[in-house]
């Protein structure tokens, strides 16, 4: 059999009853390239003498991609690994963000599985300029690829946690469709929903979180005050009733209609870091409660299964 691809076998995973050198020779005899993990425990000269082709190996000795100090150490030891790779002619070095133990499992747990998505549905902000937005079809396709990737990585429960108002309705639809397609529980919620009572109790000028308002500005004062333009606070208030929650019908509104001139919906003049701390901690607690609620993680009913609509038999 011929193939345009180079096929490799991990020598750490096969023929484990034999010494590593014998494993590599066996892999080579079978017509495959070989892969190794930690090169510091190997006799690189002896491995090179086998004449086998090596396609990849672990590309660092210590460190991780989770902490600043760990990243520095990973990059420093990667330099040593590059020199070692030259001995075997290895063209690829693998970097594991959490570090791996002898069984290939993460040494350090990762609290965040995926980074935040910086792009969502923001077309309502176009009137203010400087906006980049996805349309719904693209947004749903990106989410589908992320969830599909997580399934391939071994995850079976997904929470799509949101902090942008324009994503709320699209996420609700996407979560349902993804659950139907992949047969796993897919939850979604938004920061405004996980602790409404605590958020309301922390605010003095409005009843809930809106946009660039008392609540959101307070959160940012708590998390990163350098990004808050304090010289603009005095003008950061929207006229009239800014509580859209009282509306019965749903439709699209741009922010030139909902928050003209400033983009503010609410009253940022009442914002304080203390309020932000209280709101942030309440949101964290509310999210943790949702994640721990076992009722949220039951498998979705396969209502689209053939014959399901005929009812019980």
- Residue 12 and residue 138 in one domain: no
Give the closest residue to 240 by CA, choosing from 204, 264, 218: 264
pLDDT at 261: 85
- Residue 290 and residue 200 in one domain: yes
Confidence (pTM): 0.65
- What's the CA gap between 106 and 103, in Å, rounded? 9
Region 114-142: mean pLDDT is 93
- Residue 144 and residue 285 in one domain: yes
The verdict on residue 112 lying in a domain is no
How many independent structural domains does the chain possess? 2
133-161 per-position pLDDT tens digit: 999 999 999 999 999 999 998 889 999 99
Residues in contact with 75: Cβ distance below 8 Å, sequence separation at least 6, in sequence order:
60, 63
184-235 per-position pLDDT tens digit: 999 999 999 999 999 999 999 999 999 999 999 999 999 999 999 999 999 8
- The more confident residue out of 12 and 241 is 12
The verdict on residue 146 lying in a domain is yes
- Residue 44 and residue 192 in one domain: no
**Whether residue 99 has pLDDT greater than 60:** yes
265-290 per-position pLDDT tens digit: 999 999 999 999 999 999 999 999 99
- Residue 234 and residue 133 in one domain: yes
Domain boundaries, position 219: 123-238+259-297
The residue ranges of DSSP E strands in 127-256, in sequence order, are: 158-162, 186-190
**Whether residue 104 has pLDDT greater than 60:** no
The verdict on residue 313 lying in a domain is no
CATH number at residue 191: 3.40.50.10310
**Domain-ending residue, one of 94, 113, 137:** 94
Encode burial over 139-174: b for 16+ CB neighbours within 10 A, e otherwise. Answer: bbeebeeebeebeeeeeeebbbbbeebbbeebbeeb
- What's the CA gap between 236 and 270, in Å, rounded? 10
pLDDT at 27: 95
Residues in contact with 282: Cβ distance below 8 Å, sequence separation at least 6, in sequence order:
195, 198, 199, 202
Question: How much of the chain, in percent, has pLDDT values that exceed 90?
Answer: 70
Beta-carbon count within 10 A of 205 CB = 15
First to last CA, the chain: 51
The verdict on residue 302 lying in a domain is no
């Amino acid at each position: 059999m011929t193939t345009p691809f180079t096929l490799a076998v991990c020598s750490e995973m096969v023929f484990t009853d034999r010494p590593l050198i014998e494993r590599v020779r066996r892999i080579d005899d079978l017509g495959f390239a070989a892969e190794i993990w930690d090169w510091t425990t190997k006799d690189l000269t002896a491995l090179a003498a086998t004449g086998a082709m090596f396609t990849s190996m672990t590309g660092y000795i210590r460190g991780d991609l989770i902490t600043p100090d760990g990243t520095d150490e990973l990059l420093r030891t990667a330099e040593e690994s590059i020199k070692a790779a030259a001995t075997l002619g290895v063209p690829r070095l693998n970097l594991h963000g959490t570090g791996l133990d002898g069984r290939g499992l993460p040494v350090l747990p990762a609290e965040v599985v995926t980074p935040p998505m910086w792009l969502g549905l923001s077309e309502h902000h176009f009137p203010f300029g400087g906006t980049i937005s996805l349309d719904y079809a693209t947004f749903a396709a990106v989410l589908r690829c992320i969830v599909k990737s997580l399934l391939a990585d071994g995850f079976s429960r997904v929470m799509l946690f949101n902090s942008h108002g324009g994503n709320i309705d699209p996420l609700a639809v996407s979560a349902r469709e993804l659950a139907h397609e992949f047969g796993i529980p897919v939850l979604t919620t938004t920061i405004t929903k996980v602790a409404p009572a605590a958020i309301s109790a922390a605010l003095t000028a409005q009843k809930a979180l809106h946009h660039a308002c008392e609540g959101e500005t307070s959160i940012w004062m708590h998390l990163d005050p350098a990004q808050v333009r304090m010289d603009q606070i005095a003008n950061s208030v929207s006229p009239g009733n800014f509580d859209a929650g009282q509306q019965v019908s749903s439709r699209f509104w741009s922010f030139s209609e909902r928050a003209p001139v400033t983009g503010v919906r609410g009253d940022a003049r009442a914002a304080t870091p203390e309020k932000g701390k209280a709101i942030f901690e309440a949101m964290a607690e509310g999210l943790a409660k949702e994640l721990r609620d076992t009722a949220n993680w039951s498998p979705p009913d396969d209502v689209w299964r053939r014959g399901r609509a005929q009812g019980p038999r």
